[in-house]
Amino acid sequence: MIVLAVDTCLEPGSLALLRADDSPSAAAREGKPASAEATEGGELEVVPLPPGWRSTALHEEILRLVARHGLTTPAIDLYAVTVGPGPFTGVRLGLTAVKGLAEVHGKPVVPVSTLEALAAAAYQSRDRKGAVADNSDNWRVTSDENTETAASLVTHHSSLVTGHCLFAPVLDARRGQIFGAVYQVEGERFLPILPETACALQTFLVQIQAAGLEDVEFCATDQALLRPAMESEGWRASSFIRVSPQLAGVVAQRGFVGFQQGRGIAAMAADAHYVRASDAELFWKE
């Protein structure tokens, strides 16, 4: 199965192309879910979008990525896209591009929460002993006569480690707020223990403490967003994981797993998940 993933909820945004083995035979022999087997064998390329890109550049970058693999857009089997939370414009641009391509070619879409993708990226950065590894800069620069120089990652990825872990992804929501949630990881599922919310960071930390949640791993693309508040509240230093802002690779993986779990939907059914009203709506109410 070929999966194209788009993330425009984080800056500058990124694209990913995943080739995943969705045949059930090998997984069945080892007693694994088919999605786990496919995730182990897939090849993934992640490419950041150029700074200051516009909607036309997004389509050009998609076509360039697909062509580099000797494909055209009709060959894409599945689309995955972050649907928020994130900047209003960013959410809409990525979602609109994916819906258009998926609708034209009659392919399914798996919407992926930006916060869930952050949690999944943090989960993958932990080794099997539970230590934290900062792999956010693990990119190599590629350049040839057909493509502009860009950070790109091609990797053979493994399935997520098993276990029960708590992750609290956090995004800057501006206006003195953050987007946050707490997920419990059970196998391939990320279950929301605290639902996605937009609030002050201190309020979010109080909510976690009030829920009695312990050993929570906080994750964000920039530790400056969290570190001062965490230290003032006495959270242990090791409870922070910095992840790469290039989320599209994880989005592709979460999209594939979601499709295997029956969460693929028709293109026109995919919708944005802002969590908080847009600034225009907030200003209008004021």
Instruction: Give the domain ranges of the chain.
Output: 2-25+33-113+246-279, 116-128+163-242
- How large is the average pLDDT for residues 73-98? 97
Residue 43 has pLDDT above 60, yes or no: yes
Q: What percent of the chain has pLDDT above 70?
A: 76
Over the chain, what HEC string results?
CEEEEEECCCCCCEEEEEECCCCHHHHHHHCCCHHHHHHHHCEEEEEECCCCCCHHHHHHHHHHHHHHCCCCHHHCCEEEEECCCCCHHHHHHHHHHHHHHHHHHCCCEEEECHHHHHHHHHHHHECCCCCECCCCCCCEEEEECCEEEEEEEEEECCCCCCCEEEEEEEEEEECCEEEEEEEEEECCEEEEEEEEEEECHHHHHHHHHHCCCCCEEEEECCHHHCHHHHHHCCCCHHHEEECCCCCHHHHHHHHHHHHHCCCCECHHHCCCCCCCCCHHHHHHHC
Mean pLDDT of the chain: 82
Q: Are strands 78-82 and 43-48 parallel, antiparallel or unpaired?
A: unpaired
d(CA 93, CA 73): 18
Tokens linked to 29: 């022999």
More confident residue, 150 or 60: 60
Q: Which CATH architecture has domain 116-128+163-242?
A: 2-Layer Sandwich (3.30)
* pLDDT (0 to 100) of residue 240: 86
Least confident of 115-129, 248-262, 268-282: 268-282
Most confidently predicted of 150-154, 228-232, 278-282: 228-232
* pLDDT (0 to 100) of residue 269: 97
**What are 188-207's pLDDT values in tens digits?**
899 999 999 999 999 999 99
Q: Which CATH architecture has domain 2-25+33-113+246-279?
A: 2-Layer Sandwich (3.30)
**What are 149-190's pLDDT values in tens digits?**
333 444 433 334 344 589 999 999 999 999 999 999 998 899
Listed residue (140, 258, 237) closest to 189, CA to CA? 258
Q: Tell me the angle at which helices 248-260 and 114-125 cross, rounded to the nearest 10 degrees.
A: 100
Residue 83 has pLDDT above 80, yes or no: yes
Q: Tell me whether the CATH fold assigned to 2-25+33-113+246-279 matches the one assigned to 116-128+163-242.
A: yes
Of the pLDDT bands very low, low, confident and very high (cuts 50, 70, 90), residue 30 is low
Listed residue (138, 194, 204, 193) closest to 171, CA to CA? 204
- How large is the average pLDDT for residues 44-60? 90
pTM (whole model) above 0.85: no
Least confident of 83-97, 172-186, 213-227: 213-227
Most confidently predicted of 28-32, 53-57, 118-122, 228-232: 118-122
* pLDDT (0 to 100) of residue 40: 60
Residue 147 has pLDDT above 70, yes or no: no
Q: What percent of the chain has pLDDT above 90?
A: 62
Residue 237 has pLDDT above 90, yes or no: no
